[in-house]
Amino acid sequence: MLFKRYQSQAHQLNGLEWKVTYDRLTSRFKLFANDKQIYSCLLLFLSFRNNKLLV
């Protein structure tokens, strides 16, 4: 079985292309809107976050 380091998924919402990526090695979560980084965080031991994002 091949290990995939990066997981990503793309979505279309309100005319914007949203891309969500997760790096399994560093546990970094990133959110992009039209190739511009909107949010990034290290999940590490706190895997649940309650952040409100206004775009």
pLDDT of the residue at 7: 95
pLDDT of the residue at 55: 67
Mind listing the pLDDT tens digit for each residue in 19-42? 999 999 999 999 999 999 999 999
The domain ranges of the chain are: 6-42
Burial class (CB in 10 A: 0-12, 13-18, 19+), 43: middle
Distance between CA 22 and CA 30 in Å, rounded?
6
Distance between CA 18 and CA 6 in Å, rounded?
16
With b for 16 or more beta-carbon neighbours within 10 A and e for fewer, the 7-41 pattern comes to eeeeeeeeeeebbebeeeeeeebbbbbeeeeeeee
